[in-house]
Amino acid sequence: MVDVMRTGLTALMASQRALATTSHNIANANTPGYSRQRTSVSSNIPFFAGSAGRPMYVGTGVSVQSITRTYDDFLTQQVRGHSSNVAQSETMDQWIGQLDGALGTGDTGLAPALDQFFAAAQDVANSPASLPARQALLGQANAVSARFQELDNQMDALRQGSNQSLGNAVGDINSLAEGIAKINQTIVLAQGGNGGAAPDLLDQRDQMVADLARKAPVSTLEQSDGTLTVFVGNGQTLVQGYKTNPLETAPASSDPRKLDIRFKQTSAIVTDFLNGGEIGGLVAFQKQVLDPAQNKLGLMAAGLAETVNDQHKLGMDLNNQLGADFFKVGGPKIANNTNNADYASYNASGADLSVAITDIGQAQPSDYELAFDGSSYSLRRLSDDKTVAGGSSPLNVDGLSITVNTPPAAGSRFFIQPTGTAARDFKATLQDPRQIAAAAPIKTSAAQSNSGTGKISAGAALDASNPNLLDATRIQFTGPTQYTIDGGAPIGYTSGADIDVNGWRVQITGAPAAGDSFQVGSNAGGVGDNRNALQLGGLQTRKTLLNGSGSVQELHGQMTAEVGLRGSTTQSTLKAQTALLEQASQARDGVSGVNLDEEAANLMKYQQSYEAAARVIQIGDSVIQSLLDAIRR
């Protein structure tokens, strides 16, 4: 009878453990990262109750072998990978949306401000003597300047915000890494005490790894002692055993606007390897979206300033003076790489290295890196990672002239922003409406005594710096096929051919006769002349940028379209990655998730098993009591 009670007791304990496990599953059905647990049982070693001639074994009940979690490592790894991709796309979508909002649409964008500026220039062309029209043009110039500065400030704010988020994400990674290391230690201690790790500790550790995967791409390797080694990037160790290798952020050695992510102990930079999760999204946003947009904005500002200034200088204002600069814009910026051997002594922004934009029409919306190997220089365009120039100083490419006066140490690198900050300092410089050079600086006329049919064009200025631009000049025909300029050597005549003299250009057509003459001189007092104002208004559609392939407004349209396309692509990627994550999560939950219907059935089964085991013990106790009562008689 003692055997009956002992067997019933083992059944009672096994049922109790199964009930406890089932209850635990039900309680944690909605706990993130929880894996369904199950109780494994096996029959005890039977008792030999026979003899050599008649072997017989009597069962001795059941024992609980383990309480384990239902877990599939492959499915868990899939969920982590898709979760990292979703976090990256979510981060990019969030920040691209903010940039798209900053660019503005309708009345708040840059395009309306440009339209209104050129429309005001056309109004001046329609009424060149009108001071109110000129004042309106100055007002629109200030509005364009304010919009350029505002957009650049908003982009800088987005850069600062993304850098702050990057620092916060790195802090979260370090906190999660410390938590994983602590659980590693707890798991090892638990295994040393009872021979197995608690399933709940394993789930907590996996959940921390899952949270870590949303910050940066991770991979794991379980060690024989039960600890989990965690790697980030392309295999750099973040957690090993009980120890962590914390990360930190620091200003990038090449581009001071950005942050590098590196290991605190070794200073090894891993920024380019963290191409997933929130960190990957932030880095990709800056590199793939924000940098190109800000460079295009700067190129627009520099292009508008230079083309308007160049054309305005070819005109004459109401004070009979040649036009001055209409706009002012920031110049190229240079940053000395902090890893350069002579960083402390070499002044990259002073006389040692200089960068100038010599042709805005050839300039590209890109940053550059200049490298020196000790004997020659190489210039890499960062937008397409292409080496575009090399050799000795000066280097001339993409409308830039880079001059090195004092060679730096071998291995030195310099970060160059030709137009990246141009919009920040963009502003209108004219204050007096009379200073708007709406008229052409020269006028032409034909002598009244001319007998031929020759006609001279109104003429246009080509070079405002020519000191003889406004000098009176006489074109005298010595015959039907040749002429002289101010009595100089004879020049062959071709009807309609350009005549370029003293920084201006005219054309004479028809058949001049011998003795016919034409005059070119200053247009002082030409208050009704609108020729230069018409040229200023025409700059709106003139393809003056990107090697003659686009105007300022076309470049603006390209910038906004690229940001919008990147946002649309990111949203599509996010939808696809979210679907993949849902599929992977469902597959994992099919193995590890808690099914409440199944657990309810198990609860009833184990309850009945528990009650039956209790009944066995009760019957055994009754039989023993009956036997004891019989002995007492």
CA 480 to chain centre: 66
Question: Range of 469's domain?
Answer: 442-522
Written as one letter, the residue type at 176 is L
Q: Tell me the two tokens of residue 357.
A: 């934009």
Let me know whether 255 and 156 are in one domain: yes
Let me know whether 63 and 86 are in one domain: no
Residue 306 falls within a domain, yes or no? no
Let me know whether 214 and 137 are in one domain: yes
What span, in angstroms and rounded, lies between the C-alpha atoms of 459 and 448? 19
Residue 21 falls within a domain, yes or no? yes
- Tell me which residue of 139, 69, 81, 151 sits closest to 109, measured CA to CA: 151
* Cis amide bond preceding 132, omega within 30: no
CA 390 to chain centre: 29
- Tell me which residue of 416, 425, 420 sits closest to 353, measured CA to CA: 416
Let me know whether 559 and 518 are in one domain: no
- Which of 209-213, 589-593, 628-632 is the least confident region? 628-632
Centre a 10 Å sphere on the Cβ of residue 300 and count the other Cβ atoms it contains.
29
Let me know whether 6 and 100 are in one domain: no
Written as one letter, the residue type at 507 is Q
* Residue 490 · residue 478 · CB < 8 Å: yes
* Residue 90 · residue 581 · CB < 8 Å: no
What span, in angstroms and rounded, lies between the C-alpha atoms of 188 and 196? 9
Give how many domains the chain has, as a whole number. 3
Q: Is the pLDDT of residue 349 over 50?
A: no
* Predicted confidence (pLDDT) per residue in 599-632, tens digit: 889 889 888 888 887 887 788 777 777 777 777 7
Residue 247 falls within a domain, yes or no? yes
Confidence of residue 106 (pLDDT cuts 50, 70, 90): low
Domain boundary among 505, 522, 539: 522
Q: Tell me the two tokens of residue 273.
A: 């390897």
219 Ramachandran zone, left/alpha/beta (phi>0; psi -120 to 50): beta
Let me know whether 478 and 567 are in one domain: no
Residue 386 falls within a domain, yes or no? no
* Predicted confidence (pLDDT) per residue in 270-303, tens digit: 998 999 999 999 999 999 999 999 999 999 999 9
Residue 463 falls within a domain, yes or no? yes
Let me know whether 515 and 558 are in one domain: no
Let me know whether 504 and 577 are in one domain: no
Let me know whether 147 and 229 are in one domain: yes
* Predicted confidence (pLDDT) per residue in 147-169, tens digit: 999 999 999 999 999 999 999 99
Residue 565 falls within a domain, yes or no? yes
* Residue 216 · residue 276 · CB < 8 Å: yes
Let me know whether 136 and 272 are in one domain: yes
Residue 123 falls within a domain, yes or no? yes
What span, in angstroms and rounded, lies between the C-alpha atoms of 501 and 3? 125
